[in-house]
Amino acid sequence: MSREEQLKTEGQPVLKPEKGGAEGVKAAGCKGAGRPGEETAGERSARAERLKRRYGRAVSPKGGPGPMGPGRHGPGGPGRQRAMAKGTPKNSRATVKRLLAYLNEDKAKMGLAFFCVIVNTAASLAGSYMLRPIINRYIVPVDGSRGDAAGLARALMVMALVYLAGVLANYAQAKVMLTVAQSALLKIRNDLFTKMQTLPVRFYDTNNNGDLMSRFTNDVDTVGQMLSNTLVQLFSGALSIIGTLGLMLYTNVYLTVITVVMVPVMMKAGGAVARRSQKYFGAQQTSLGAVNGYVEETVTGQKVVKVFCHEDIAREEFAILNRDLRDNQIRAQFFGGIMGPVMGNLSQINYSLTACIGGILCIWKNFDVGGLTVFLNFSRQFSRPINEISMQVSNVFSALAGAERVFAVMDEAPEQADDRDAVTLTPMEGHVVLDRVSFGYDPDKVILKDISLYAKPGQKIAFVGSTGAGKTTITNLLNRFYDIQAGSITIDGVDIRHLSRENLRKNIAMVLQDTHLFTGSVRENIRYGRLDATDEEVVQAAKTASAHSFIMRLPKGYDTMLEGDGANLSQGQRQLLNIARAAVSKAPILILDEATSSVDTRTEKHIEHGMDRLMANRTTFVIAHRLSTVRNANAIMVLEHGEIMERGDHEELLEMKGRYYELYTGVKELD
Ligand SMILES: Nc1ncnc2c1ncn2[C@@H]1O[C@H](COP(=O)(O)OP(=O)(O)O)[C@@H](O)[C@H]1O
Ligand SMILES: [Mg+2]
């Protein structure tokens, strides 16, 4: 069972209905799996909430350290710290500052873009205003004479040129802003990915993959949207408002008053709608995250879902999350959507009022028709930037929320830095000593107790014991995926906490219990163990792992491309490639965690020879279920519940007639 599956079945009964009882039993067989009775609306919404909480997880591992303590992210408190980096931004000012820092390098370009915005706005204002002299002079001259067609044509040419300048400026602006935004995104993605490489294993063990990946895609995208469009629109909107207002005042003060009175009304209405839409927007994002997380999990676990006939339950749970997403999306987008019509109607009222009163002013107060025409245009245009700005507000919020989710990952505590005086052992010989080591993933829950052992270079130490005894955990400690809580681990006399991590890990070759292959050729996958290995060495390593013969049978031999974690290989073949990868490395310490568990006994026998060669002159830790493979170990540790119960070589342990004897002779089943 892989670590992931183990966690799921032990820690979080993912696909099992939570209430347990009869439903838990049902889940075991196909008949009647799913369809848990009729639910009341209340029960259903409670279930939806539970599912959402589970799948829409926040970044920070529970109780994990990291600078984003409960204080900064609102009502975290002593309880669960999940689902808080979602939805609306919690600290907009800091987030904005951080985003701006990404734009810093492109200040000049930004300046150019904003200059273009100014040109564009000025051109459109000027173009609109030019209508006044055109009407007054060439169409309905104020002095009562006939219109002047030639003059009109000339004036229209000028007007066209002005508008053309505006269009060009707009085009330039869009192009420049796009490059600025995309280079900022490039940096953000780089920073995020770089950060992810520094995060400790604990982070990945406690976070939802789908959620992390959506930060890379969705969240970064929304930020990009904001950088390339929203910022500019806000700026040009503000400019238009100011410019239009100025020109309106210049054209007619009385009419301006009408518009100015109408604006607060419009703002108020817009604000109310925006607030609502913001609130629902957060909910929508959480639901979206939950749906993504659920889909990701069922896609990756599709075989398990099918094997246990959980399709019905999965469908049902998905339907719940899906409905929840629909509801939240309707709410969020309804309020986003009614913004336009609400503002539009108010602006129509404004328009009609202005037209009536303007007409009266023309008749009684000698107000020029050209003036009235441009004013009507302005008063209509006036609501557009206000409209736009208020619509952009929700984009800004979602982008800031997205940025916060991205920054939250960036703020996660990285793997603790090496000591300043960290030592580098070259060459490392491989004297490994564990002295009274105790450890728990959760400090309160001890997994390993008082483990002491000594391994000399060239020795083979084996761990046997039932599943969950803590065998893999010991390997996690040797390469410092996790740090121990008590005792010490030393290599060549140096505490591994004083070794540089790179030095430590370079000197430990490991075949993990969960195999992993990267997209690439077989050769590249083996060479992953040591990048400067020659082709000859790669083949040699494959031979050592008994992988050579099956590789040669692949369509393109060593150049066969592996995709999707080696989906085109059998599990056993994947393991052999993982062994070859370890074999190509020259590390003095070798860890094999159930490395041959999926390989048939005949192949395993066949490998034995190669394995002996692999282990020669290295300190080797072997974990194996098949006791036949550990017989020749220098020392065998029998691990139960995190403690070493028995130790000795094969003969000694058999003589002891204890636990090992039971395991070996099969007197008692593993429990
Ligand atoms: N990443 C983890 N976080 C919390 N608990 C874990 C983690 N990995 C393993 N455990 C727990 O530690 C115990 C030992 O697991 P492990 O060392 O993987 O056992 P095994 O002997 O089968 O390799 C198990 O009870 C398991 O639930
Ligand atoms: Mg294990």
* Atom in ligand 1 nearest the alpha carbon of residue 465: 21
Q: Which atom of ligand 1 is nearest to the CA of 467?
A: 22
Name the band, by pLDDT with cuts 50, 70 and 90, for residue 300. confident
pLDDT in tens, 637-668: 999 999 999 999 888 888 888 888 887 777 65
As assigned by CATH, the class of the 92-410 domain is mainly alpha
Which is higher by pLDDT, 59 or 198?
A: 198
| Strand-pair category, 561-562 with 635-640 | unpaired
Residue 57's pLDDT is what? 53
Instruction: Tell me how far the alpha carbon of residue 434 lies from the centroid of ligand 1, in angstroms.
Output: 19
| Nearest atom (ligand 1) to Cα of 476 | 17
Distance CA 11, CA 30 (A): 23
Distant-in-sequence contacts of 196-204, Cβ < 8 A, 24+ apart: 196/409, 198/414, 198/415, 199/409, 199/412, 199/414, 199/415, 200/413, 200/414, 200/415, 200/416, 200/481, 200/482, 201/476, 201/481, 201/482, 202/61, 202/64, 202/441, 202/481, 202/482, 203/61, 203/64, 203/412
Cα–Cα dist 405/286, whole Å: 12
Q: Which ligand is nearest to the CA of 7?
A: 1
Average pLDDT of the segment spanning 20-42: 49
> DSSP code of 423?
B
Nearest partner of 458 among 579, 583, 648, 588, judged by Cα: 588
Ligand 1 proximity of 471 Cβ (cutoff 6 Å): yes
Q: How far is CA 290 from CA 318, 323, 472, 650, in A?
A: 9, 12, 31, 51
Mean residue pLDDT across the chain: 82
Q: What is the mean pLDDT of residues 165-183?
A: 92
Q: Going by C-beta distance under 8 Å and a sequence separation of 6 or more, which residues neighbour residue 294?
A: 51, 55, 317, 318, 321
Structure tokens at 383: 């609501």
pLDDT of residue 87: 52
Q: Is 76 in the pocket of ligand 1 (CB under 6 A)?
A: no
Q: How far is CA 225 from CA 98, 107, 219, in A?
A: 17, 18, 10
69, with CB counted inside 10 A (0-12, 13-18, 19+), is exposed
Q: Tally the residues of the chain.
A: 671
- Residue 513 Cα to ligand 2 midpoint, Å, equals 6
Residue 469 Cα: closest atom of ligand 1: 21
Torsions phi, psi for 252 (to 5 deg)? -160, 120
Q: What are phi and psi of 489, to 5 degrees?
A: -120, 125
Q: Measuring from atom 4 of ligand 1, which residue has the nearest CA?
A: 441
CB 599 within 8 A of CB 483: no
Residue having the nearest C-alpha atom to atom 6 of ligand 1: 441
pLDDT, tens digit, 9 for 90 and up, residues 221-274: 889 888 888 888 888 999 998 999 999 999 989 889 888 888 788 778 877 887
pLDDT at 296: 84
Cβ(627)–Cβ(433) under 8 Å?
A: no
The pLDDT value recorded for residue 163 is 94
Q: Whose CA is nearest to atom 16 of ligand 1?
A: 470
d(CA 178, CA 227) in angstroms, rounded, equals 8
Domain residue limits, the chain: 92-410
Is residue 36 over pLDDT 70? Answer: no
Contacts 24+ apart (CB under 8 A), 493-498: 493/431, 494/423, 494/425, 497/419, 498/419, 498/421, 498/422, 498/423
Q: Which of 258, 210, 275, 232 is nearest to 380 (CA)?
A: 258
- What is the reported pLDDT for 65? 28
Q: How far is the CA of 463 from the centre of ligand 2 (A)?
A: 10
Closest ligand 1 atom to 11 CA: 27
pLDDT of residue 462: 93
pLDDT higher than 70, residue 69: no
**Stronger pLDDT, 142 or 461, i.e. the higher one:** 461
The CA 10 to ligand 1 mean position distance, Å, reads 10
Does residue 535's CB lie within 6 angstroms of at least one atom of ligand 1?
no
Tokens of 300: 């990756």
Question: Which ligand has its closest atom nearest to the C-alpha of 474?
Answer: 1
64 in contact with ligand 1, CB cutoff 6 A: no
The pLDDT tens digits for 348-391 are 888 888 899 999 998 998 888 899 999 998 888 887 787 778 77
DSSP 57-81: --SSPTT--SS--TTTTSTTTTS--
Q: Is the pLDDT of residue 345 over 60?
A: yes
Question: In this prediction, what percent of the chain has a pLDDT beyond 70?
Answer: 89
**Pocket lining: 10 vs ligand 1, CB cutoff 6 Å:** yes
First to last CA, the chain: 15
Residue 475 scores a pLDDT above 50: yes
**Nearest atom (ligand 1) to Cα of 482:** 1
476 Cβ below 6 A of ligand 1: no
Q: 585 in ligand 1 pocket by Cβ < 6 Å?
A: no
205 lines ligand 1 (CB under 6 A): yes
Question: Which residue CA neighbors atom 26 of ligand 1 most closely?
Answer: 468
E strand map for 129-257: none
Distance in Å, CA 471 to ligand 1 centroid: 8
Q: Summarize the confidence of residues 380-409 as an average pLDDT.
A: 82
Instruction: Evaluate if residue 31 carries a pLDDT over 50.
Output: no
**pLDDT class of 183 with cuts at 50, 70, 90:** very high
Q: Are 569 and 562 in contact (CB under 8 A)?
A: yes
- The closest ligand to the CA of 595 turns out to be 2
Residues 495-532 have pLDDT tens digits of: 999 998 888 998 999 888 888 888 889 999 999 999 99
pLDDT for residue 164 is more than 90: yes
39: tokens are 């639910």
Give 310's DSSP letter: -
- Output the DSSP codes for 532-569: T--HHHHHHHHHHTT-HHHHHHSTTGGG-EE-TTTTTS
For 80-134, the three-class secondary structure string (H helix, E strand, C coil) is CCCCCCCCCCCCHHHHHHHHHHHHHHHHHHHHHHHHHHHHHHHHHHHHHHHHHHH
Helices assigned H by DSSP within 411-481:
471-478
Counting ligand 1 atoms within 8 A of each CB, the residue from 202, 437, 447, 484 with the most, and so the one to mutate, is 447
Instruction: Quote the Cα angle for 321-322-328, to 5°.
Output: 90
Give kind and range of the element (H or E) at residue 29. Answer: none
pLDDT class for 58, splitting at 50, 70, 90?
very low
Query: At residue 14, does pLDDT exceed 70?
Result: no
The CB of 441 under 6 Å from ligand 1? The reply is yes
pLDDT of residue 41: 78
For residues 166 and 11, the model is more confident at: 166
* Ligand located closest to 594 CA: 2
Which pLDDT score, from 0 to 100, does residue 473 have? Answer: 93
Q: What is the pLDDT of residue 383?
A: 74
The closest of 476, 448, 451, 10 to 204, measured between CA atoms, is 476
Tell me: pLDDT of 322 over 60.
Answer: yes
Give me ligand 1 centre to Cα 13, in Å: 16
